[in-house]
Amino acid sequence: MKVQKWIVRGLWCLLAALMVFARPAAASLLWQLEKDGKTHYLFGTIHISDADIIALPPHVESVVKSARQLVVEAIADEQSRQSMADRSLLASNTLKNVLGPDLFAEVTGAAKARGVPPGSLVRLKPWAVGLMLNVPTPSLEPVLDVHLQYRFEDSGRAVHALETIDEQLDIFDQLSLDDQIAFLKSSLSQLEDFDGNFAQMKALYLAGDLDAIHRFSEQQTAKGDHPVMKRLMYRILEERNERMFARVQPHLAQSGTLIAVGALHLPGQLGLLQMFRQAGYAVKAIDP
């Protein structure tokens, strides 16, 4: 179960880490949406378990306290954890057979360095191991999105999901075996610089400046690219943005909705901010 929790956290952490390799962004994390006399808020989160991240700045905290309901990417519960556990396992093979002895040895060495016993990897699919390697350090604390979910639930306010965990897992579980292995190799290749890059991403997020994140992303993308990551980026961003925007509409009938999704979903011509503008919303950045 510990390994499955690592993989769940890896799913969210990877979606956050991909922000480093993203396209241009606007310079605010919190946005006000107004239309037909109704006011809502769109907040760009980062899927990281970190006390500094969870300690929200006052202007965000004010909106969190006053919002009538919360809309997040997916609900974290026992059902989602079980789905991850079920779908991360190979049906009738072993990871060593799939990867070959040399790559398997490299993977188990990397996992052991992060505190994961090699024996726990035997039945995992390559994509699941790749996600696990995207976890900076284990933590018992929830990521920011889940922290917000718990706060709203504890106060008796409604929490709605834009996706199921299975829809998120489909992004990786529907990869061909060759692409899964390529994704795993990509995760391995980034381990040497991973902690430093993640620390830099956290600092840029805390600064609330997505333009700075874009400048950093250009430096990172110049170091190399991979076709599998391009396909993943399309499914993670454009495909999900359309789904999120369509599914959030029923929750906007009354004022006071806080939409909290990964910051990478906000910017760009195909991002949520532009979708709201095209739908007739007045979109305004809320700065500290």
pLDDT digits (tens, 9 = 90+) for 54-106: 999 999 999 999 999 999 999 999 998 899 889 999 998 999 999 999 999 99
Average pLDDT in the 23-35 region?
Answer: 76
**Average pLDDT, integer, range 210-238:** 70
Q: What is the pLDDT of residue 288?
A: 76
Q: What is the pLDDT of residue 201?
A: 82
Contact 241, 23 (CB under 8 A): no
- The whole-angstrom separation of Cα 118 and Cα 167 is 29
Those residues whose C-beta lies under 8 Å from the C-beta of residue 159, and which sit 6 or more positions away, are 69, 70, 71, 72, 75, 149, 152, 153
Q: What is the pLDDT of residue 184?
A: 93
3-state helix, strand and coil shares in percent for the chain, rounded to the nearest 5: 60, 10, 30
Confidence band of 234 (pLDDT split at 50, 70, 90):
confident
* Nearest partner of 226 among 189, 176, 172, 271, judged by Cα: 189
Question: pLDDT at position 141, please?
Answer: 79
Strands 158-161 and 69-72: parallel
Share of the chain above pLDDT 90, in %: 54
**Cβ neighbours of residue 162 closer than 8 Å, sequence gap 6 or more:** 71, 72, 73, 74, 243, 244, 247, 248, 261
The pLDDT value recorded for residue 214 is 60
pLDDT of residue 67: 98
The model's pLDDT over 94-107, given as tens digits with 9 standing for 90+, comes to 999 999 999 999 99
Distance of CA 261 to the CA centre of its chain: 8
Task: Name which of 31, 47, 56 is nearest 271 in CA terms.
Answer: 31
- How far is C-alpha 108 from the chain's CA centre? 25
Residue 253 has pLDDT above 60, yes or no: yes
Asked if pLDDT for residue 138 goes beyond 70, the answer is no
Question: Please, what is the average pLDDT of the chain?
Answer: 86
pLDDT in tens, 14-24: 554 444 434 33
How many other CB atoms are found less than 10 A from the CB of residue 124? Answer: 23
Q: Which of 282, 269, 280, 283 is closest to 241 using CA atoms?
A: 269
Half-sphere exposure of 17 (CA within 13 A, CB side): 27
Residue 34 in tokens: 């107004």
pLDDT of residue 17: 47
**Residue 207 pLDDT level (bands cut at 50, 70, 90):** confident
Whether the per-residue pLDDT at 25 is higher than 80: the answer is no
Q: Taking residues 7-16, report their average pLDDT.
A: 54
* pLDDT value of position 23: 39
Beta-carbon contacts of residue 92 (< 8 Å; ≥ 6 apart): none
Q: For residue 8, is pLDDT > 60?
A: no
Sort residue 268 into left (φ over 0), alpha (ψ -120 to 50) or beta.
Answer: left
Query: How big is the chain by its Cα radius of gyration, in Å?
Result: 19
pTM, rounded to two decimals: 0.88
At residue 114, the pLDDT reads: 81
Sign of CA dihedral 160, 243, 168, 224: negative
pLDDT of 221: 54
Indicate if the pLDDT at residue 243 is higher than 60: yes
DSSP conformational letter for 142: P
